[in-house]
Amino acid sequence: MEVFSCVENPLGGSIPDTLGLWKSLTTFYSGGCNLYGSIPRSIFNLSLLVNLYLAENHLTGSLPSEIGNQLPNLEYLQLRDNELTGVLPPSISNCSNLGYLEMDNNIFSAAIVDTIVFLCRMKICYQK
């Protein structure tokens, strides 16, 4: 499977760790699905992932420090409207194809803009 989309379906529950077994996955859209818990670390092993959309859920925890090294093909990352904490890891700078990043309405502990200044063409949406 290359694309998984279930946007705006009231699934509830957490994202299964087995998602990391879908090695050919390039797009994962599960925004507005009433998901909770942390984002499984296995997702960050999907090196072919281009689009990750998990906005409008109840996800908690922080992003792994190695996210930029593990997802080199990432172009679209939307995690807005969750309950994520911590900082946006500096390794995100390794995602040289990243053109869209939306992280507003979370509980990050530092200004994201400081971490992503290098991505000039990016649309940045961040609010505390």
- What residue ranges do the domains of the chain occupy? 3-125
Q: How confident is the model at residue 110 (pLDDT cuts 50, 70, 90)?
A: low
Ranking 40-54, 91-105, 107-121 by mean pLDDT, the lowest is: 107-121
Q: Is the C-alpha dihedral spanning 105, 83, 43, 36 positive or negative?
A: negative
Ranking 73-77, 80-84, 112-116 by mean pLDDT, the lowest is: 112-116
**Whole-prediction pTM:** 0.84
CATH level 2 (architecture), domain 3-125: Alpha-Beta Horseshoe (3.80)
Residue 91 to residue 7: CA distance in whole angstroms: 28
Q: pLDDT at residue 116 above 80?
A: no
Q: pLDDT at residue 118 above 70?
A: no
